[in-house]
Amino acid sequence: MNIRVAVQALRAVRPAPPAHAHKSRFNPRSDILDEVVAGLLWMTLDLPQDASRAELEAFAHQLVARIRFGASETAIESEIAFLQSGQLGRPADQDAIHVLAGRIMGTVRGA
């Protein structure tokens, strides 16, 4: 008993794969941007000895996300000042933070 089956008929029976609501693409530019912002923070701020790269990159990722969603330079300055004085326990140099916020804003918007 040989039964001939059309392949196209089988394809119609098979359900379509589910569409994902949110697909995230690999975006190396985003990772590099986070590292650049973390490097700017590392070079400018007075950090304690136990500050890790992962902590700064996580903070930088949050800053980049806030800037992309339209945060003002003043809001970014206050975030950096809070990191410096509130989380790291070091005195905040407002002039250096103002210049740093401007550099970070220019870097993120230029990317």
What local confidence, expressed as pLDDT, does residue 32 receive?
A: 87
Domain that residue 42 falls in: 27-110
3 state SS of 8: helix
Q: How many domains does the chain have?
A: 1
What local confidence, expressed as pLDDT, does residue 47 receive?
A: 83
Q: What is the CATH number of the domain that holds 33?
A: 1.10.340
Amino acid occupying residue 73: E
| Residue 17 lies inside a defined structural domain of this protein | no
What local confidence, expressed as pLDDT, does residue 90 receive?
A: 84
Quote the pTM value. Answer: 0.70
From 12-26, 46-60, 88-102, the region with the lowest mean pLDDT? 12-26
pLDDT of 100 > 90? The answer is yes
Q: For residues 5 and 28, what is the distance between their CA atoms, to the nearest angstrom?
A: 47
State the average pLDDT over residues 95-101.
93
| Residue 64 lies inside a defined structural domain of this protein | yes
Considering only residues 46 and 12, tell me which one the structure prediction assigns the higher pLDDT.
46
What is the dihedral sign for C-alpha 87, 27, 70, 43?
Answer: positive
pLDDT in tens, 17-46: 555 555 556 566 778 899 999 999 999 888
| Residue 12 lies inside a defined structural domain of this protein | no
